[in-house]
Amino acid sequence: HVLHETHATRHDPKIFNFLLRLRLTRHHPPPVPLFLFPPLSLPFPPPNSPNRRSNSSHLFKVSNPSPRLTLSLAHSFPLHRKRERESARCFIKARLMVVPSLNCVTDGAPPSSGDFTPLKSTPPPPHTDQLPRSRRASARIQETKQRQEAKQRLEKERLIRKRVQLLDEPEEQQSSAKKPRVYSRRRDGEGSDGVEAKPKAEQQQLPEREREKKDEVERAMDNAARQIALEMPTSDVLPASGLASGKSAYAQVKDTLRTFNKYYLSFVQEEESRCKKRDTAKKSPNSKSPSKSKGPKLKKPGRGVKATKPDTKSTSKRPDLKAVTKMLETNAVMYPKKRIGDLPGIDVGHQFYSRAEMVAIGFHGHWLNGIDYMGMGYQKEYKNYTFPLAVAIVLSGMYEDDLDNADEVTYTGQGGHNLTGDKRQIKDQVMERGNLALKNCVDQSIPVRVIRGHVCKSSYVGKMYTYDGLYRVSRYWAEKGISGFTVFKYALRRLEEQPILTTNQVLYLAYLLLVRSANSHRLVCDDITGGLEDIPIPATNQVDNPPVPPTGFTYLKSIQVAKNVKLPKNTAGCDCRGNCVDPRKCACAKLNGSDFPYVHRDGGRLIEAKDVVFECGPSCGCGPSCVNRTSQRGMKHRLEVFRTPKKGWAVRSWDFIFSGSPVCEYVGVLKKTEDVDTLTGNEYIFDIDCLQTMRGLEGRERRLRDVSLPNGETIPFEESKPDSVPEFCIDACRSGNVARFINHSCTPNLFVQCVLSSHQDIRLARVVLFAADNIPPLQELTYDYGYVLDSVMGPDGKIKRVQCYCGGADCRKRLY
């Protein structure tokens, strides 16, 4: 009706567009004809029309002659009864550009055959008695459901507003561009020959200029933040012990993490032994509950005094926090002082497998808070700055208002959220501590380190943390969060000229792509073991063309003994039954210093490297699941042999390998050293010299000068003959296992461990490779060959020199 009477809509597209969005919900008889633009008459069909039904609605498609009009009409025809006539509705959804004119059309024209197309009718609504009744839910479920509906409603409103803006934007620009043009012509009185104004170009130039100015300011602030990070001193940050030893920052980071892992596993073992004692005490027949005991009754504690309870504590889940405390007490933290900017030895993409590891390094100083900052104690050292100042933040998804968009982050301040894990905000945040530190970073252009947390099943805390570089805190504001409480928001922008972001998802995608490519034309061997191992080991070659598989050897699963070598007889073992539990009673545990060298966690892990590990053997009474048989269970990880451009064949794992986990045993033919032909250039010889070649952990020093034996005797380390040739060796040139393909590295992630199980002859110990670090998937496995420079002689008597291609930070550039 309004469209029919309003003639001004032909000159005002805004009003016309608004009127088209109206929903016409009621029509009273007689029906009003519907006028559309361009002119199109849509009268209602007569009562006796075949397209009319008394108890149903019809949906019609309108064939539109205009290409600029898109129309769908859903119409319910008014019926004879008053109640049905009142329920008739008509919905119009149209999108139309500027219309040149408004024309009315006479009513009563018969519809053409091409104008209406009847479609499927909608069934009548069911009776209220037939509707299923909703199940009664608890208040908590209803609250959660209402919260989800509110969040969805807000998201829908946001999308609707965005769509309306997109629809209105071209019309406003077009109308604003036309009005000044008409005004300019009327003012000049020259019609089309007059001078036209140019507001449209100015409107386009103004946002571009403002955008350019804003970008220039942002770049200047980023350069200032980058310059502040570069000007921070690094010499006083590195520990003096590492500088004195000549190790690089990367090597010191590895050493610090290995120290942390050693403390962590020792506290795991402590908790396991405590829980075993408690369980044993519960199962003993003499143990009685405190309520049924006939001992003296305990007096009730007075007011203000808590009653003592028995030790019912379960297994501690945080031995990592105990390890951090131990490192703080022993001054083993690498960076005890906080520093702005990057830390030497930790590049973009470095992965931590717990927040405790970051605390042990000093990369992020708190295991729970998301914001790490420098307090007022640093004012004397940094006089030109206002404190507190934030140095690092962790994005781990603990706040419901966080927004992460890779290079741009909206970070929620700390405090006020529920620590139970549901991410809900339960009170307002306060501008203090970490929040104040981030605010001061905005005012002084101080960059912060950003660490992102991702779900990782391999980590014992369920998450992995990746360092993603330096970000500048550009601005901050306060607003009401999703839960209705005041939160502080900080906009962070990643600084330029940094390496690309590397996250766990990216690595996982690369892993999948690599596996898929390995299963295609680059897979040269399905299983190099020939089915001897429980887990097949494929071989891939993406270097050679055409690709060739590894050949020239026979795969062995266990050690073969040469004819002139006699193994000693099996010695007597422990008397344990089932599993070895008590190290005070186990004879094998006494050989390891009255304790087990392994912990049960993650399938068995070696706590720390030893000169010799004594395991349970065939003469022991324990079963194969005993923790002191960890290295005898075969390979547990999916390994792959792959071709490299410079180092030949190499080995990597498809699975995550925990530090201290056994990877594989060095298998070959056990020979006497004097029987090995040195003139053939055999590089697959491994000397069994437990007292001389324990250099697997980057030349680590021996913890013991003598190795204990079961009969109480000792084999002293010969100081006068440190370079004496060992009596036996393992030759894997023609026959061996996957260990023969593992390359050398000056910064390895594996170490060599000598193990004795069936006998105690240290000259014939087994050689097992253990993980020195937490090794992520697809990282090459390496260990230190232990060659001394200029120690290998050629057939002509001259010193042989072989270049090292490991690429480590502390590479010696020569293998020997």
Closest CA to 801 of 784, 789, 810: 789
Q: Tell me the C-alpha distance between 309 and 307, whole Å.
A: 6
**Which residues, listed in sequence order, are joined to residue 470 by a DSSP beta bridge?**
449
Q: pLDDT value at position 481? A: 81
Would you state the structure tokens that stand for residue 360, as one six-digit string?
């042990």
Q: pLDDT value at position 653? A: 95
Going from the C-alpha of 375 to that of each of 365, 432, 433, 435, the distances in angstroms are: 12, 11, 8, 12
Q: In this model, does residue 700 exceed pLDDT 60?
A: no
Greater confidence, 675 or 780?
780
Q: In this model, does residue 525 exceed pLDDT 80?
A: yes
Averaged pLDDT, 257-284: 84
225: left (phi over 0), alpha (psi -120 to 50) or beta: alpha
Amino acid letter for position 517: S
Strands 750-756 and 766-771: antiparallel
Greater confidence, 287 or 87?
287
Phi and psi, residue 505, nearest 5°: -65, -40
Contact 447, 228 (CB under 8 A): yes
Would you state the structure tokens that stand for residue 118, as one six-digit string?
């009847």
Going from the C-alpha of 520 to that of each of 539, 543, 754, the distances in angstroms are: 12, 15, 39
Q: pLDDT value at position 415? A: 84
Greater confidence, 68 or 122?
122
Q: In this model, does residue 51 exceed pLDDT 70?
A: no
Averaged pLDDT, 628-644: 94
Helix (H) or strand (E) holding 435: helix 434-444
Q: Tell me the C-alpha distance between 726 and 691, whole Å.
A: 9
Greater confidence, 786 or 447?
447
Q: pLDDT value at position 604? A: 94
Average pLDDT of the chain? 73
Contact 358, 364 (CB under 8 A): yes
Contact 181, 201 (CB under 8 A): no
Q: Tell me the C-alpha distance between 674 and 422, whole Å.
A: 67
User: What DSSP line would sit under 271-328, residue for residue?
Assistant: HHHHHHHHHHHHHSTT---TTT--SPPPPPP-TT-PPP--------S-HHHHHHHHHH
**pLDDT tens digits, residue range 464-520?**
899 999 999 999 999 888 888 888 999 999 998 888 876 544 455 455 555 554 455
Q: Tell me the C-alpha distance between 303 and 195, whole Å.
A: 95
Going from the C-alpha of 159 to that of each of 154, 163, 166, 168, the distances in angstroms are: 9, 6, 11, 14
Averaged pLDDT, 635-651: 94
Highest mean pLDDT among 203-212, 400-409, 451-460, 600-609: 600-609
Which residues of the chain form CATH 2.30.280.10?
335-502
Greater confidence, 230 or 610?
610
**pLDDT tens digits, residue range 312-340?**
555 556 899 999 999 999 999 999 999 99
Closest CA to 713 of 661, 760, 656: 760
Which residues of the chain form CATH 2.170.270.10?
551-634+658-736+743-772
**Region of poorest pLDDT, from 113-117, 300-304, 603-607, 757-761:** 113-117
Averaged pLDDT, 142-163: 73
Going from the C-alpha of 225 to that of each of 61, 221, 409, 468, 811, the distances in angstroms are: 61, 6, 17, 16, 33
Greater confidence, 212 or 607?
607
Contact 704, 762 (CB under 8 A): no
Q: pLDDT value at position 24? A: 41
Residue at token pair 């403390």: 263
Q: In this model, does residue 609 exceed pLDDT 60?
A: yes
**pLDDT tens digits, residue range 553-592?**
999 999 999 999 999 999 888 999 989 988 989 999 999 9
Closest CA to 257 of 773, 780, 779, 811: 773
Q: pLDDT value at position 719? A: 44
CATH for 551-634+658-736+743-772 (3.40.50.720, 2.170.270.10, 1.20.1250.20, 2.40.50.140): 2.170.270.10
* Terminal-residue alpha carbon distance, the chain: 97
Closest CA to 78 of 87, 65, 68: 87
**Torsion angle of alpha carbons 550, 556, 559, 561, nearest 10°?**
-90
Tell how many helices (H) and how many strands (E) occur in the chain: 12, 33
Averaged pLDDT, 628-654: 94
Helix (H) or strand (E) holding 612: strand 612-614
3-state secondary structure of 239: coil
Strands 735-736 and 554-555: parallel
Q: pLDDT value at position 174? A: 43
> Would you call the peptide bond into 645 cis, given omega within 30 degrees of 0 as the criterion?
no
**Fold of domain 335-502:** PUA domain-like (2.30.280)
| Chain centroid, CA 312 distance in Å | 35
Averaged pLDDT, 296-319: 55
Q: Where are the alpha helices (DSSP H) in 720-804?
A: none
Averaged pLDDT, 351-368: 92
**Which residues, listed in sequence order, are joined to residue 664 by a DSSP beta bridge?**
769
**Which residues, listed in sequence order, are joined to residue 489 by a DSSP beta bridge?**
412, 477
**pLDDT tens digits, residue range 734-768?**
999 999 999 999 999 999 999 999 998 888 999 99
Q: In this model, does residue 697 exceed pLDDT 50?
A: no
